[in-house]
Structure formats: C-alpha cells, structure tokens
Amino acid sequence: MLFHTIPKHIDPSLEHLQYEELNDMSLADIIDICRERNLPTEGKKSQLISDLLFWKDHTVPIPAPSTPRLNSLSDLQNMESSTMTHQQDDRVLLNSKEFSLLFLDEDSPTGMDIPYGDLTFGKKIGSGGFKDCYQGIYKGEVVAIGELRLTHFGEFDLAEVKHEINVLKQLRHENVIKFLGVCTNPSHLCIVTEICTKGDLFDVIRNHPRPSFAQQVMYMYDIALGVSYLHTRRPSIIHRDLKSMNILISQDERAKINDFGLARIRPKANSLMHTQCGTPNWQAPEFWTSNPSYTEKVDVYACGLIFWEIMTWGAYGYPFQNLAEHALYVAVKQHDVRPPISKLTGLYPRNLLVLVMEMWETDPTLRPSMNHVVERLSTYLL
C-alpha cells in the first residue's frame, strides 16, 4: 500500500475541500499540498487530487522539513543604508549641451529627459560599480533612482551607461524593469526606473523563508517570460549577465530582469557574439575561451542556474560559491560539473529537474529556447 493508514484521522487544512475545489487550483498549488504531506508529486493533476483525497480520509500528515537558512550581512547593511540620506558629492561638471544628447537622442520617446528638480531622493537602497541607488519620488510615484558617481568618470564609463540607456528605452515588458527616464543635469546623471521594493532575488532568497512551490514556479516563469521577450525581439537582445543579483522582485512578488549594462543586440538571428563578459559563476562553458562564440543560449544556461538557486533557496549558497575562477573554469569547462541536483529529487517534479538540466547542457544546441522553457513552466500554473 502507498500510504500508511490510521482510522478516523483528520487533516484540518483539507477537511472541507472536495474534488471540484481542488480541481480549480493550479497544478503547482496541488503539488505544493502534496509536498507538504510527503506525497508523490509526479503524474496528472487528477491523480494527485485522488491521492490527496485518500490522504484526507486515511492518513496522518508528515510535517514539512525546516528550511536551512544562510547567515547574511544584508540585514545589517539594510539597517545602515536606511539611515543614510542623499549626500552631495564633489562632481566633475561636464559643462556641455551635448551631455544630454549623449544619452537621449531624437529617437528617444518624449518625456524621458527628467529635470533634476523633479526628483525627490529618499533612502539609499544599494550601491555598485559607479552607481548609487536611492528610493525616490517622481511625479508622485515611488521610483528607483540610480545616480552615477561622475567624479573620475571616464569616456568608457559614459559609453557603457549610454549603451544601457539605449537598450532600456527600447524595452516594454512586465518582466523587464521599466525605464522611466534619465536626468542629464551635468553634475547629476541619474537613471530612473520603476522600483522593486523586495530587492534582488539573491537577497530575497537569503532574507525570506522558502515560498510555496507555486510561488517558486512563478518566479521562474516570470524570468523565462522576460528573457524570452529579449530573445524574440527583432533584433534580439542577449543579456549576457543574468544572475540572481540581476533579478528584482516587486512588492506583488513578480520577478523582473534588470541591469542591461552588458546586454548586446544581436543583429542577425544566425550570428555569433564574440565578447567575453559577465559574472563567472553564471557563465556558460562557451564563454570560457580566449575567443568565445555564442548565441542567446548563454542566457538559457544562466537561467538554469538561477532556477536551481530558487529551488534550493539558499541551502547550497549560490552556484560554485566555493570555487576560485581557475577552479571554476576547470570544473565547468573541462569536467562538465554542475550544481548538485540529486537532493532535489523527490522534492520537486522530475520534469522540472529535467528541464533545468537541459538548460545547463554543455552543448548550447541541446539547450531549449526560452520560449520552450515558458511553455514547460506554464503547465504548473494551469
């Protein structure tokens, strides 16, 4: 017999649920309920519902295991940043009318040149590279304001920012961070976007309890939708630096792609890209060469690692976190090492684990397209 039966047992959370009510739930929600009771998660929705109804009438629930958590300095850093206010720094004044035209040309949508006086700065919520990010107000709405530190700002830095703005202003998708405009005051160059108040996925994993399976799948689905949008544009866009730190989570739990500083527009569908870049831990094997040739499948590989992070929810840290760069090269490029997935067997549907392993295949041609990933994930949300 599949289940150990005990007469007259009551499972309170299922007591009043009938087949019709369970059938109205998504497959992901049903899988969640099954996982909480250590029941099988493979099979059709109708079979899983039958198993649950049998459980409801005959069995004792087994408590779900506790979720391991990683210690993090994020809380301390967040406390410190919340007390900081916007400070005026010594700036290099670029006294030139061309400064505005450098970032917004005649092809830019109207209303994207934001006067500095229209921005209200709040607490500092992040910092990286040559940019500080603040929570702020623009036209009565809460926004994210990324102010670039212009002191010692070189020509290469300006070109990189110009590129990111040029990519961002083309994009309109609910799973891609929304670009609102740029402040081109010569002493205050700011990129203004929508704000995702929960922060990036990397920190969400470390600062919040493991969510339901349905929410985990929704994060993956959102990411897949956003990346699929980039890849199916004409011309298509390869992000090239996808990682959990570049996925933002909104207050309503939607995942959005961020940070297009390394994104590249692929001029033709059959053309190869040849620039090495990105964060090594999420880099596809084809990056690990002196003259790389790659397609949008590098993003598919990175998404596979992000999905693994979502499913493990911090239990194993981030991908290859204990490997130095050379060891990472040897492991990924030469020995096809991937993050541990065997311990996820039984916790997640086999088809989902197979999808992740397909996404991080060594041969890019064996990896599915992001459109295909969207289709596979959608089956859990029906």
Q: pLDDT tens digit string along 285-305?
A: 998 887 888 899 999 999 999
Element (H, E) at 132: strand 131-138
Whether residue 32 contacts residue 213, with contact meaning beta carbons closer than 8 Å, is answered with yes
Whether residue 103 contacts residue 184, with contact meaning beta carbons closer than 8 Å, is answered with yes
DSSP structure class, residue 224: H
CA pair distance 352, 357, nearest whole angstrom: 9
pLDDT (tens digit per residue) in 154-209: 666 677 777 778 888 889 999 999 999 998 877 788 899 999 999 999 999 999 99
CA distance readout (Å), 118 to 174, 177, 292, 360: 25, 21, 44, 45
CA pair distance 107, 245, nearest whole angstrom: 31
CA pair distance 348, 32, nearest whole angstrom: 9
Does 113 qualify as catalytic in the annotation? Answer: no
pTM: 0.77
Ranges in the chain, pLDDT < 50:
1-9, 60-97, 267, 270-271, 273-274, 276
Handedness of CA 67, 314, 201, 373 (dihedral sign): negative
For the domain 199-378, what is the CATH superfamily, name and number? Transferase(Phosphotransferase) domain 1 (1.10.510.10)
Residues 217/220/226/228 CA torsion (nearest 10 deg): -100
Residues 47/53/59/65 CA torsion (nearest 10 deg): 70
Q: What angle do CA 262, 267, 268 make, to 5 degrees?
A: 130
Q: In terms of DSSP H, where are the helices of 14-97?
A: 19-23, 27-36, 45-58, 74-82
pLDDT of residue 273: 47
Identity (one letter) of the amino acid at 142?
A: V
pLDDT of residue 150: 66
Catalytic residue among 241, 252, 299, 336: 241
For the domain 74-194, what is the CATH superfamily, name and number? Phosphorylase Kinase; domain 1 (3.30.200.20)
CA pair distance 154, 150, nearest whole angstrom: 9
Which residue(s) pair with 179 in the sheet? 193
Identity (one letter) of the amino acid at 278?
A: G
Phi, psi angles (nearest 5°) of residue 179: -85, 125
CA pair distance 265, 274, nearest whole angstrom: 12
pLDDT of residue 46: 86
Find the helix packing angle between 27-36 and 213-232, rounded to 10°.
Answer: 140
- Give the CA radius of gyration of the chain: 23
DSSP assignments along 135-197, one per residue:
EEEETTEEEEEEEE--TT--HHHHHHHHHHHHHHTT---TTBPPEEEEEEETTEEEEEEE--T
